[in-house]
Structures are given as structure tokens and as C-alpha cells.
Amino acid sequence: MRHKRLIWQLYPSQLLITIIALLVAAGYGAYSLRAFQLAQTGAGLEARARLTQENVLALVARNDLRALQGFCTTAGKNSGTRLTVTSPDGTVLADSDEDPARMENHGDRPEILAALAGRPTPSLRFSHTLQENMMYVATPLIQDGKTKGVLRTALPVTFINNALREIFLKIAWGCLIVALIVAMVAWFISQRISRPLEEMRLGAERFANGAFTNKLREEGAEEVVSLARAMNAMADQLDARIKTIARQHSQLQAVFSSMVEGVITVDIDERILDINQAGANLLNIPPEKLRGKNALVAIRNLPLQHFISQTLASATPIEGEIDLTDRGGQEKYFYAHGTRFQDASDMTSGAIIVINDVTNLRRLENMRRDFVANVSHELKTPITSIEGFAETLLDGALESPEDARRFVEIIAKQSKRLHAIIEDLLALSRLEQDKEQSELILAGEKIINPLRRSIENCGLKAAEKKISIELTAEDGLTARLNSPLLEQAVTNLIVNAIKYSDEGGRVLVRAGERPEETIAIEVQDFGTGVAPQHLPRLFERFYRSDAARNRKLGGTGLGLAIVKHIVQAHGGEVGVTSEAGKGTTFTILLHKEKHHENTNKT
């Protein structure tokens, strides 16, 4: 609904009341003036009739109609009045303006009837004879108590109407002038009344927009001053409270935004009111796509929606773990803490959910369990073999030199395997400690040197399977590295390639420059390859893509884990690509020190 301004409610009403009053006064005055004028005219006509009454009565009494006609004509002309004489029965005896013989009987005229009744009354009507409005007044002609006739005087009212028209026109102009004056006065008064209220409105709008410094002027009527004073006091209070709220909101928002935990607030209908950036990152959904939407529709996770429902229904805080698969298909684990909050009337108005990403902790816990299980399994096998064959020897196998020698060789082999596992575990431990304590010493050295030594270290194993190892590397390619550790990493990769290569195959070792100031060391075999599902976990400790075949080929299951830690200690990266039945390629990326173009092939 559209509301009118106060001035347009005051001003038109005041102007309308004034105009109505003027119209009523002018109308009443015009009516009274016309009535007065007609009354005066009627009285004048009656006076004229009485002045000529005696002469007319004498002529009527003598029945001298010719003399009567002459008198009426002369007297009517001199006085500007129409004179008409009738007999008691209404027959026209004489008329100052018309021939009596041609005039109809006037016995039914109102003024004639009133005169015969002894009550002379003015009558105003249209004269068909003269074709104009006339006022008639008739008086009886009485002689010796008998009515001899009726004398009627008449005047046209045209001059009255003309006079009244002039007067009415002057009255109309006067009313118009008065109306204009009243309109200006009413406008001024309306402005005086509405201006303070308009200033109050503008001031209230400024206050609503937060401009509390521009106070209202405290002037005018007492009521207006009191209202302005109250609104200024209200503005001061609002300013102080809004600043306090803004400061608190800024503090809360800073805390809200800086929290590493995800924070989600929902209303009673489980619509998301707000979420911090950490929460949006954890859910992998932009914040603007979450706010205002139902939690189930926006996040599409039943466990989280159930947790929100439980939080809203519980009077005490609740906790629990939530499994969530994000839109990228990656499974995540969250530990959630939920508390509902209430409004001023102690009614539940929503809840706050704090979530922590425990995916890495869960993965580390799983890795720890797998590591313990794998270590136990890997250590159990050689220990069981050693224990079993030692007991066999003690039970009498020592009596047979051949059996004793074979059992002792097995015990020695398993002892070496156990020693290799322990050495690899110690090597991993040292690498982790050096990385944490930043004690690994790196020096600029040609890449080709540790590569050649690694190939020499694996020469015997390669010869056993008739496998050729080819090296392609730039002779002057230099990087900051720890030569013994890099040699160990490349040796582990070459040994791994030899294990999974067919007899008579070949292994390629390459080193070259890559974009972004990096050096790539690749070890490629053409053996059985690795299935895609095993590639992400290939560098985990004791992880075996084909456990039975791996143990048959030997090894501790820690070689690739050692490679990963050595490369990370150098600040580089290690990756693997493989295709089943076509071979596997391991790639080490290191930061290079300088660039040379000479190439050496072995």
C-alpha cells in the first residue's frame, strides 16, 4: 500500500474545507441577496399599486374604461411599471402594455386570487404575453366594502437578474481571491506542520543507514523538540550498540575464518546458515553453494545429515566420526562435535557443528597397523625357519653331516635375510631422523657417477639372468646430492628391475634435463609390470603387489620405501608408471645445479 506524505494529507483537506466554506457562504449570500432583492421589488410594486389605487378605483366605479385605459398607459409609462386592471371575475378591463380585448381572463392568476382573498402576495413567473419573466403584485379595489376589481402591478425581473449577476460575479472573484490567499496560507501552515516531521523521517533514514553523527535539530514546538531529542538519544544508543556488535562480529568472524577446523552452523530446518573456509575446503564444496541450502541436498552425505539431526535433538553436546566420500570420489574421515544453540526464549534455533579431518590420522593408523603386521610377518618367517631348523639339529640332525650342513646353510640364509630386514629398517630410521634434523649433507656432483656405481653394484645379479643394463646420461649434468644415498636408491631400483625382468632381458637407466630446472633419473624394465591398483601403495613399507612371487624372488619389501625416503631427503620426487606385461618405469626428479650438453652412453 502506497502512503501519502503528511503535507498532502493536511494541505488538500484544509484547502477543501476552506473552499466548501466559501462556496456555502457565497451561495447563502447570493440566495439571501436575491430573496432580499425580490422582496424589495415586491414591496415596491405593492407601494406603486397603492399610489394609483384611488384613481383606478374612481375610474372603475364610473365604468369609464376608455379613461381607465388611458390612465394605465400614462401611469405605467411614467413609472416604468405594467399596470393591469381586472374585474372581480378576472376580465381584463385595462392594461398599460397590451390591448385588454386581446387578453385572456386572469381569474386564475395566483396574484389575482391572493388579492381577492385579501392577502396580496408577489408572484414570479414567465409572461406569455410579454415573453419574459415578470413579478406580479395585485391589490383589491374595494369601495363600500365591495370588491370592484383588482389592480395588478408588474415589473420584469430581467434587470434584477442582471444586477444580481454583476453582484454574483464580484462575489465569485472575491471568493477566488480569498481561496488563493487561503491556499497559500494553508500551504504555509501545512509546511510548518510537516517540515519537522519530514526532517524526522530523513533523520530516521540516516540513522537506518548508519549515519549517526548527523543529529536532528531540536527546535520548534515542544512535541517536536521532545521527539527529536528522543531520536538523537536513540541514535547514540544504536551507534554504541552497533559498534559493539560489529566489533564482536569482527572478532568472531576472525576466529571463525582462522580456525583450521571446519565450522558449520545450521538452523532448526537443517539449512546451512554459514560455513567457514576451512569447512568448505574439507567438504570440497564452495561456500556460496552451501549457504542457505539444506544440509542433505548441499552435501549429499547421510551420516553428516544424521549427525546434524541428532545434534538438534540432543540437549547435550555429542561427538562422533563421519565417513564421507567427496565429489572427487576420495574417501575422507571426520571427527565431529555438535552443539545446539537456543534463542532468547530458550527455544532451539539451530546448531553448530565442528569437524576435524582425521583422514591422515586414520591412514597413518592403518599404515601403522599394516606396518606392525608386515614387520611381524616378515620377521616371523626367518625366525620360524631358524628356530625350526635349529630344533631339528638339536633333535639329532647333527648326526647326519649332509643334513646338518644343509640345515645350517638354511639357518645362515634366513639369518642374512633377518639381518637385511633389520639393516633396511635401520636405514629408514636414519633417513627419517636425518630429514627431521636437516643433517643430510648435499654437494654438487655429476649425476653419472653414482649411476655408474649403481650399475656396477648390480652387475653380478644382472649377469646371473643374462640381463643387460644400458646407461644414457649427460656427462656434465650436475645436481646437489648425497652420492652414497643416491647410489643406494638407484641400486634398489635396478635390483627391483632385474627381479621382475625375464632372463635375457634388458634394463634402461636414463638421466636428463626436464622443464622447471629439474633432472629426471629413470630406471625402466620390460618385465611383468604392475597392476594399476597397486601403484599408489607401491612405496609403502613391506607392501607387495604379488606377495607370493615377491618372497620367492627375495628382498625385504623395504627397498622402494628406502628409495622414496632418500629422494625426499634430497627435496625431490619419485614416481612410477607401469603397464601389465610391458614393464615398469621408476622416475626420480631432482633439482639440477647446471646445464651441459655432452652425452655419454655406456
- pLDDT of 9 reads 65
Asked if 588 and 465 count as a contact pair (C-beta separation under 8 A), the reply is no
CA distance 475 to 596: 8
Q: What are phi and psi of 448, to 5 degrees?
A: -65, -25
- pLDDT of 524 reads 92
- pLDDT of 297 reads 78
- Give the total number of structural domains in the chain: 5
Q: Please choose, from the candidates 273, 280, 243, 234, the residue with its C-alpha nearest in 3D space to the C-alpha of residue 259.
A: 280
Share of residues in the chain with pLDDT > 90 (%): 5
Asked if 491 and 452 count as a contact pair (C-beta separation under 8 A), the reply is no
Residue 347 scores a pLDDT above 90: no
- Which letter, b or e, does each residue of 383-400 get, where b requires 16 or more Cβ atoms within 10 Å of its Cβ? eebbeebeebbeeebeee
Asked if 58 and 156 count as a contact pair (C-beta separation under 8 A), the reply is no
- pLDDT of 585 reads 92
> Mean per-residue pLDDT for 297-316?
84
Do 350 and 378 fall into the same domain? no
pLDDT band at 431 (very low <50, low <70, confident <90, very high): low
Asked whether residue 350 is domain-assigned, the answer is yes
Do 61 and 40 fall into the same domain? yes
Residue 248 scores a pLDDT above 60: yes
Q: Which residue range is the domain that position 233 belongs to?
A: 214-258
Do 589 and 452 fall into the same domain? yes
Q: Please choose, from the candidates 346, 344, 345, 348, the residue with its C-alpha nearest in 3D space to the C-alpha of residue 314.
A: 348
> Mean per-residue pLDDT for 404-415?
79
Q: Which three cell numbers stand for residue 396?
A: 639329532
- pLDDT of 523 reads 93
- pLDDT of 601 reads 42
Do 11 and 151 fall into the same domain? yes
Q: Please choose, from the candidates 499, 594, 469, 586, the residue with its C-alpha nearest in 3D space to the C-alpha of residue 535.
A: 586
Sheet of 318-325, strands arranged across = 272-275, 262-267, 348-357, 331-342, 318-325
Taking only the tens place, the pLDDT of each residue in 51-109 is: 888 888 888 888 888 888 888 888 888 888 889 899 988 888 898 888 888 888 888 88
Report the CATH number that the domain containing residue 371 is assigned in CATH: 1.10.287.130
Report the CATH number that the domain containing residue 541 is assigned in CATH: 3.30.565.10
Do 285 and 406 fall into the same domain? no
Residue 593 scores a pLDDT above 70: no
Asked whether residue 181 is domain-assigned, the answer is no
Do 525 and 565 fall into the same domain? yes
Do 447 and 584 fall into the same domain? yes
> Mean per-residue pLDDT for 470-481?
86
**How many other CB atoms sit within 10 Å of the CB of residue 466?**
11
Please give the DSSP secondary-structure letter assigned to residue 271: B
- Which letter, b or e, does each residue of 534-565 get, where b requires 16 or more Cβ atoms within 10 Å of its Cβ? eeeebbbbbbbbeeeebeeeebbbbbbbbbbb
Do 425 and 573 fall into the same domain? no
E strand map for 38-129 = 82-86, 92-95, 123-127
Average pLDDT for the chain? 80
Of 143-152, 426-435, 436-445, 461-470, the poorest mean pLDDT is in 426-435
Do 514 and 566 fall into the same domain? yes
Residue 106, burial from CB neighbour count under 10 angstroms (0-12, 13-18, 19+): buried
Taking only the tens place, the pLDDT of each residue in 46-64 is: 888 888 888 888 888 888 8
> Mean per-residue pLDDT for 334-349?
81
Beta 468-474 vs 478-481: how paired, if at all?
Answer: unpaired
Residue 455 scores a pLDDT above 80: yes
**How many other CB atoms sit within 10 Å of the CB of residue 36?**
10
Residue 501 scores a pLDDT above 80: yes
Asked whether residue 183 is domain-assigned, the answer is no
Do 468 and 592 fall into the same domain? yes
Do 423 and 531 fall into the same domain? no
Q: Which of 163, 184, 203 is the last residue of a domain?
A: 163
> Mean per-residue pLDDT for 138-152?
87
Q: Which of 163, 184, 201 is the last residue of a domain?
A: 163
CA distance 427 to 447: 22
Residue 183 scores a pLDDT above 90: no
- pLDDT: is 491 or 30 the higher one? 491
- In three-state secondary structure terms, 526 is coil
Report the CATH number that the domain containing residue 339 is assigned in CATH: 3.30.450.20
CA distance 486 to 451: 8
Residue 600 scores a pLDDT above 50: no
- pLDDT of 587 reads 92
Asked whether residue 14 is domain-assigned, the answer is yes
> Mean per-residue pLDDT for 163-173?
80
- pLDDT: is 290 or 508 the higher one? 508
Residue 439 scores a pLDDT above 90: no
- pLDDT: is 592 or 341 the higher one? 341
Asked whether residue 337 is domain-assigned, the answer is yes
Please give the DSSP secondary-structure letter assigned to residue 213: S
Q: Which of 130, 163, 196 is the last residue of a domain?
A: 163
Residue 507 scores a pLDDT above 90: yes
The 3-state DSSP composition of the chain as helix, strand, coil percent (nearest 5) reads 55, 20, 25
Q: Please choose, from the candidates 498, 492, 503, the residue with its C-alpha nearest in 3D space to the C-alpha of residue 558.
A: 492
CA angle 382, 533, 565 (to 5 degrees): 60
Asked whether residue 206 is domain-assigned, the answer is no
Residue 272 scores a pLDDT above 60: yes
Do 24 and 149 fall into the same domain? yes
Q: Which three cell numbers stand for residue 319?
A: 561427538
Asked if 313 and 286 count as a contact pair (C-beta separation under 8 A), the reply is no
pLDDT band at 420 (very low <50, low <70, confident <90, very high): low
